[in-house]
Amino acid sequence: MIKIINIVVLLFLITTAGCQNNKNTQEHKAMKYNKLTPEEERIIINKGTEQPHTGIYNDFFEEGIYKCKRCGAELYKSNAKFDGHCGWPSFDDEIDGAVKRIPDPDGMRTEIVCANCGGHLGHVFEGEGYTDKNTRHCVNSVSISFSPLKGMIKEIEIPKTETVIFASGCFWGTEHWMKKQKGVISTEVGYIGGHVRNPSYEQVCSGTTGHAEAVKVVFNPNEVSYEKLAKLFFETHDPAQVDRQGPDIGNQYRSEIFYTTDNQKQISEKLIKQLKEKGYKVVTKLTQASKFWQAENYHQDYYEHKGTKPYCHFYTKKF
């Protein structure tokens, strides 16, 4: 009888301990991950992608550690971060064991996730030659958080940004001048204004796609006005030339401003009027911005990589 009672008591204790352990496990799971906003869930859980040039860490280069937004695991050190000219934070190395690589369902790319919680970070690319490690982790800002070296959480203000697309001949020279201007957050060369999806450089040069070689300029209007950038545009090329710029001939080398706001259009019209009143001929077109296609990587920051200067874009004061 005593033996039976002891067995019953033992089973009760095991059951109670199991329930308690299960309760603790559930509480641990509930406390394991940070609460996410709907946008963070869309990207981190459902493997979405934030819009390029919108993330708070894209142009951020403070010293510290980047952590997983979902679980807080340390992922990247700040000395691995570089400017990938892609619109998303770029890292050429991760903290050992922090990032897991998974073949993407599209069969072409490799997804990267937090090794601790499986949260989606972005994709990894190799062989692009941006750094000696020849690797680029393209990460969504939404997927990560930042802790400075001192360990104090720093609030990062998201600067107000504005975008305009300038076409003034070979996009190498246009970008060269725009990226030198204080207040410009990023520049990206590409193609716009045509009728072919995702055209190649060779297709655009054939003159059959209708695209213009152009530069997408993202800037902080609190630091530089659109008017100042537009003046720089007019002063670094000859707006009197039709479908050419210097030795470059073809419709892809036309002078055109692809505006994104009515204010940009009005300011451009004002500047064109001022130039004409000064005796300048201006054939520059004003067109509302449409789909912008990024050019091949070797075209990005061309003169910076080559260490040379533009051959057909020279500064001439006109205003």
Q: Quote the mean pLDDT of the chain.
A: 87
Same domain for 109 and 134: yes
pLDDT at site 302: 85
User: What is the DSSP pairing of strand 285-288 with strand 255-259?
Assistant: parallel
Q: How far apart are CA 128 and CA 77, in angstroms?
A: 21
| Residues involved in catalysis | 138, 170
Minimum mean pLDDT range among 31-40, 44-53, 221-230: 31-40
- Beta partners for residue 171, in sequence order: none
pLDDT at site 307: 83
Q: How distant, in Å, are the alpha carbons of 202, 206, 251 from that of 209?
A: 10, 8, 10
Q: How far apart are CA 217 and CA 162, in angstroms?
A: 8
Q: How far apart are CA 42 and CA 253, in angstroms?
A: 40
Q: CB of 149 within 8 A of CB of 64?
A: yes
85 pLDDT above the threshold of 60: yes
pLDDT tens profile 148-192: 876 444 445 555 789 999 999 999 999 999 999 999 999 999 999
Domain ranges, residue 126: 39-148
Note the pTM of the prediction, 2 decimals: 0.53
Sign of CA dihedral 306, 309, 310, 315: positive
Same domain for 143 and 204: no
Q: Please count the structural domains in the chain.
A: 2
Q: Report the CATH number at residue 97.
A: 2.170.150.20
Q: How far apart are CA 241 and CA 283, in angstroms?
A: 7
Last residue of a domain, one of 148, 176, 207: 148
